[in-house]
Structures are given as structure tokens and as C-alpha cells.
């Protein structure tokens, strides 16, 4: 399994794309700091570039690398939430087009998974694009066999460790404002 993880890391670091189990559903991913890789994800998903992609981080302290100002309430939301939570932060930085929304925001989820997704993020030490492994507008895949063949066949690697999914829906989404107020987008 370590060889599979190392191969996956090498692919991501070289600008490649992957299918992998996230902390919620099966995802399509790449190095979120690599514009060419991000563009490839949009092509694979047939996704409108006006709909930005979310990223995963392993450590909430890395938020400061990608968000200009992190309101204190963000850390409370991350710590207190027992389910995966994606937070949309204002003032994104150091990320390519396709990750940053028109309004300058960025969607980030801190992955608390101790399994394969967490291992991947911990060793990557970079943000990872994590969008559902589907064609845009189609159902999100909760099982590997629900991923369209055209995606599986066109990514550089399928990272399929001994994965047993326990979550059957995408993450909650909250949009956070600079003043600490927030709006629930998806429960």
C-alpha cells in the first residue's frame, strides 16, 4: 500500500490527476497549486470554469497560506464539527484560476480523516483539489463502481487503497464572511 501511495504522490507532484476516496465521497483530484492540472480537472468533468473547485488541506494552520484573513470562528467551526465541513472563505490567495471564485473566495475543507485521504494529504503537504468523481451535473459517486469509466480511464492514477467508506453524502458547506458571520449553503 505504501508503494501505491508513493506512486500517487509522484503523479500529483508531476501535475497529474487522480481518482481517490475523499473523507466524504469518491473524488477527482490534483495539485491545487498547478494551473495546468486544475484545467485538466475541468476538462475531465466537463465543468463550467465559472464553478470553482474546492480544495482539501490536512492542517487548519495551512489556511493562512491560502486565505488572507481567517476569522477566529473558522477554527471553532472546524473543531466543533464532527462531520466533514467545507468552509468558503473570503480573500483567497496563492491559488490558480478555477480554485478562486469570481468574488475572490475559496472553498476549503480540513480533512480530519485518519485513513487514506488523510495520509495522502499529510504526505503531499499541498492543497489537493477534491471535486466529486463524476461528470458535471451527474450524481456524486459514493462507491467506486459509480464513477464513470471515462474518468477512470483518463486520469493518471486511481488511488484505491483498502477503502471502506463510512460517509454517504457530500460535506456540509458554510460561507464565512470577514466579520465572522456565516451562511449555511448545504447541510
Give the tens place of pLDDT for each residue, 111-148: 987 778 889 999 999 999 999 999 999 999 988 899 99
Average pLDDT over residues 49-53: 95
| Helical pair 116-124 and 2-13, crossing angle rounded to 10 deg | 50
- Tell me what pLDDT residue 163 has: 60
For 152-175, the pLDDT digits (tens) are 999 999 998 766 555 567 899 999
Pair 83, 186: CB distance under 8 Å: no
Average pLDDT over residues 70-96: 94
Domain chopping of the chain, boundaries: 2-186
For strand 131-132 and strand 157-158, is the pairing parallel, antiparallel, or unpaired?
Answer: unpaired
- Rounded to whole angstroms, the Cα distance separating 179 from 170 reads 27
Pair 17, 159: CB distance under 8 Å: no
- Tell me what pLDDT residue 169 has: 76
Q: What is the CATH number of domain 2-186?
A: 3.90.870.10
CA 5 distance to own-chain centroid: 17
For 84-121, the pLDDT digits (tens) are 999 999 999 999 999 999 999 999 999 987 778 889 99
User: Smallest Cα–Cα separation from 18: which of 127, 133, 104, 99?
Assistant: 133
Amino acid at each position: 500500500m505504501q508503494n501505491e501511495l508513493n506512486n500517487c504522490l509522484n503523479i500529483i507532484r508531476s501535475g497529474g490527476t487522480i481518482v481517490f476516496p475523499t473523507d466524504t465521497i469518491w473524488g477527482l483530484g490534483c495539485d491545487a497549486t498547478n494551473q495546468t492540472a486544475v484545467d485538466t480537472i475541468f476538462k475531465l468533468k466537463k465543468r463550467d470554469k465559472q464553478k470553482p473547485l474546492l480544495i482539501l488541506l490536512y492542517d487548519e494552520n495551512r489556511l493562512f497560506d491560502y486565505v488572507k484573513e481567517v476569522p477566529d470562528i473558522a477554527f471553532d467551526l472546524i473543531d466543533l464539527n464532527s462531520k466533514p465541513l467545507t468552509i468558503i472563505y473570503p480573500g483567497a490567495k496563492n491559488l490558480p484560476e478555477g480554485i478562486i471564485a469570481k468574488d475572490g473566495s475559496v472553498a476549503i475543507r480540513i480533512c480530519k480523516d485518519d485513513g487514506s485521504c488523510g495520509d495522502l494529504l499529510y504526505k503531499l503537504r499541498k492543497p489537493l483539489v477534491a471535486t466529486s468523481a463524476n461528470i458535471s451535473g451527474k450524481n456524486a459517486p459514493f462507491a467506486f463502481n459509480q464513477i464513470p469509466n471515462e474518468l477512470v480511464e483518463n486520469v493518471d492514477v486511481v488511488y484505491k487503497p483498502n477503502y471502506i467508506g463510512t460517509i454517504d453524502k457530500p460535506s456540509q458547506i458554510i460561507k464565512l464572511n470577514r466579520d465572522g458571520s456565516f451562511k449555511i449553503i448545504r447541510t
